[in-house]
Amino acid sequence: MKISIIGAGSWGTALSIFFGRRGFDVKIWCYERAVEEDINERRENRTYLKGFKIPEKVLAFTDLKDALKGAEIVIFATPSHVTRRVLVEAEPYLPEEAPLISVTKGIEVETLKLMSQVYEEIIEGVVERFAVISGPTFAREVARGLPAAATIASKNKKLAFHLQRTLSDPAFRLYESSDVIGVEIGGAVKNVIAIAAGICDGLKLGLNARAAIITRGLAEITRLGVKMGANPLTFLGLSGIGDLVLTCTGDLSRNRMVGIQLGEGKKLKDIVVSTPMIAEGIKTSIAVKALSEREGVEMPISQTVYSILHEGMEPEEGARALMARSLKEELYGISLDR
């Protein structure tokens, strides 16, 4: 099996290591020439996933045409804000029959489109060969070969079934789904809630408060997802509560660490420049605020994160405002009826 991975950040690199160890022929596209040279010459990506040996079966390219040539499966691991541009550049070189898999967890801020909707705009007839993978998967643990599970969703059930069996491994178990929207919403919005959980930890508000953020955050994710056409039960699975809990509690979570530093009094601009790694929740918070307003969905935690990140609200003020809201019925507005 020949796999092309577009994007050599931590997740794309971890997947290249995982599939390379399994004996797949892997090509990985890198935006930076230095990363390409690092992978091909030193067998390591010291910029985005330092400390992991990359198998010889993995070859890096900065040319999209070369990276995509002969691919039987194409995995896009690009940040959400550059996915459209990379797709447009890659489209002429995409093998016609190859399945396209998105592992990006984000929403396009300018258009409020999910990644699947961006693909549908750019690539004709993509629905039947498109899938998305999302779930509780820290890149460093997947690169180490530690057990993980995720959801693979496609509107083409036959494709989801095929990819599930082709890509699964005793160390990487995939569960099939047809709810592309739900899986994408869960993967994107949980990053915003993780920043809130991190702020809670940075302010030292305690484990009770963190658990409340996670639980009420899940209600927000579900409300938005259902309004956009998702199955509410999807959010009880790996791409929903599973990914949310991991990102809100794990020390490897970039979004949680951004929140912790904000809670400790650091400024966002200083946090961002201190690392080359992207915390998707920062940009996604803009899209989530806009989506909640467009869809008429109440999302107070997400709104508070947006205000802290982009409007100068102090974290302590945000915490007080959330606790002072009028009392509500739990899960109000969510129906399990389809």
Q: Please give the pLDDT value at position 332.
A: 54
Q: Please give the pLDDT value at position 278.
A: 79
Instruction: For the chain, give every domain's residue range.
Output: 2-178, 188-323
Catalytic residues: 190
Q: Please state the φ and ψ torsions of residue 141, each to the nearest 5 degrees.
A: -75, -40
Strands 2-6 and 107-108: unpaired
CA distances from 76 to 59, 82, 114 (A): 16, 11, 14
Q: Please give the pLDDT value at position 76.
A: 98
- How much is the average pLDDT of 6-21? 98
- How much is the average pLDDT of 314-334? 86
pLDDT (tens digit per residue) in 296-321 = 999 999 999 999 999 999 999 999 99
- The answer to whether residue 199 scores a pLDDT higher than 50 is yes
How large a percentage of the chain has pLDDT more than 90? Answer: 94
Cα separation, 140 vs 143, in Å, equals 5
- How much is the average pLDDT of 255-284? 92
- How much is the average pLDDT of 321-335? 79
From the number of C-beta atoms within 10 Å of its C-beta (0-12, 13-18, 19+), residue 157 rates as exposed
Q: Which residue has the higher pLDDT, 57 or 335?
A: 57
Fold of 2-178: Rossmann fold (3.40.50)
- How much is the average pLDDT of 182-204? 97
Cα separation, 81 vs 108, in Å, equals 6
Q: Please state the φ and ψ torsions of residue 134, each to the nearest 5 degrees.
A: -155, 150
How large a percentage of the chain has pLDDT more than 70? Answer: 98
Instruction: Give 328's pLDDT tier (boundaries 50, 70, 90).
Output: confident
Cα separation, 99 vs 155, in Å, equals 12
Give the closest residue to 192 by CA, choosing from 330, 77, 304, 328: 304
**Whether 104 contacts 77, CB under 8 Å:** yes
Instruction: Give 336's pLDDT tier (boundaries 50, 70, 90).
Output: low
Q: Please give the pLDDT value at position 338.
A: 40
Instruction: Give 276's pLDDT tier (boundaries 50, 70, 90).
Output: confident
Q: Which residue has the higher pLDDT, 120 or 277?
A: 120
Cα separation, 46 vs 63, in Å, equals 20
Fold of 188-323: N-(1-d-carboxylethyl)-l-norvaline Dehydrogenase; domain 2 (1.10.1040)
pLDDT (tens digit per residue) in 85-103 = 999 999 999 999 999 999 9
